[in-house]
Structure 1
Amino acid sequence: MLEAIRKRRSIRNYQSREVEEDKLKEILKAAMFSPTAWGKRPWEFIIVKEQKTKEALSETTPYAGFVKDAPLVIVIIYDVTRGRRFKEDSSICAEHIHLEAVNQGLGSCFVQVADSDGPHGPAENYVKQLLGIPENYRVQCMMPIGYPEKELPEHSDDEYDESKIHHGKFSS
């Protein structure tokens, strides 16, 4: 597990090579294995492969431009009638996607949608309109997935910082 965590980097440049369906299925399994408050499993996923739609998604926020270059994008949505922990459940799910993408030899990046703004106004409203998402759903993020254009360096033990750890109570 620690190996996948070390290798997980935010990938913004992708090869044009398609992601195999069996790899996508494994990533979605990992997403659906993520814990949720009260076991409600209120997240759902929109898989976007159409270039025109990816180009539109790349206009969601000023930081989403690279989304159009990924072979596919997973949009994590959440039915608020089935759960109350929208951000927490969706974020845990996104991390499962990140780690399984690494396990499959792929890269990914978390692109925030909820509580973000873009050239079309509130990013969440823009994505909901673009993808036909019903009112009772929230949009947490978009996750472009693909084969990395280049491998980024792994995290190292040098990043482990004991000063960030407090025992029993906060200490400076």
Structure 2
Amino acid sequence: MDALEAILSRKVQRVFADKPVEREKLSKIVDAGRHAMSARNMQPWQFVVIQNRDTLKEIGALCSTGKFVTDAPSAIVVFKDVANARWADVDCAQAVQNMADAGWALGLGTCWVGNFDAAKIGAMLGVKDGWAIFTILPFGYADPKNPPQAKPLKTRTEVVHYERVGNPKP
């Protein structure tokens, strides 16, 4: 699958098949994150790859909107450099997008988690001073009984303008 196809076809996935994710695929996903653009090339991220079932269950229990981490066969926790307050969130979001698209191209789905107990998860994973959790990305294969969700898009005329807001045609 090429990059554009992965971007245009990717869906949100919160239910995973009971099948482990190969380390080689997780390594490729992390490399996609490492290659994201970042302001002044600061690369204000660190990634923790998790495949231990007990750890995933503990993390999932600490996610108020991401309980599905509990049933994922793997996850990547993205840390941000808090000293880079101006750009770290934008840069980490670009890394997350790269990883989500790479995962999809490799046959894996994800949905980033937004609400979690950062202090407890950070302590569990050994976060260093000056770093904070940006998000958690569980990765896994689709459960054939519960396929990934489609993402409805606004119409082009609602979001695309040419030369000036309100002009829908080039």
TM-score, normalising length: structure 1: 0.84
Structure 1: gaps of 5 or more residues: none
Residue aligned with 1:62, SS: coil
- Superposition deviation, residue 171 in structure 1: 4.0
Does the 8 Å CA contact 1:7/1:155 hold for their aligned counterparts?
no
Q: Does the CA-based 8 Å contact 1:86-1:138 persist in structure 2?
A: no
Question: Which consecutive unaligned segments of at least 5 residues does structure 2 have?
Answer: none
- SS state of the match for residue 58, structure 1? helix
Q: Which has the higher strand share?
A: 1
Query: Which residue of the other structure, out of 72, 86, 98, is the alignment partner of 1:96?
Result: 98
Query: How far apart are residue 81 of structure 1 and its match?
Result: 4.0
Confirm or deny that 1:166 pairs with 2:140: no
| 1:152 aligned residue | 148
Change (3 A) 1:152 1:66: closer
Instruction: Kindly provide the amino acid, as one letter, of the partner of residue 165 in structure 1.
Output: V
**Bigger shift: residues 95-104 or 43-52:** 43-52
User: 1:99, 1:25 → 2: CA distance?
Assistant: 14
Number of aligned residue pairs: give it.
Answer: 163
Find the partner of 2:118 among 114, 119, 124.
124
Identity %: 24
Deviations 1:97-127 (A, max 9, x none): 1100011111111112xxx4x5xxxx22222
Distance change >3 Å, CA 70–CA 166, structure 1 → 2: same
Identify the match of residue 85 of structure 1 among 72, 75, 87: 87
TM-score normalised according to structure 2 size: 0.84
Distance 2:29 2:11 in 1: 16
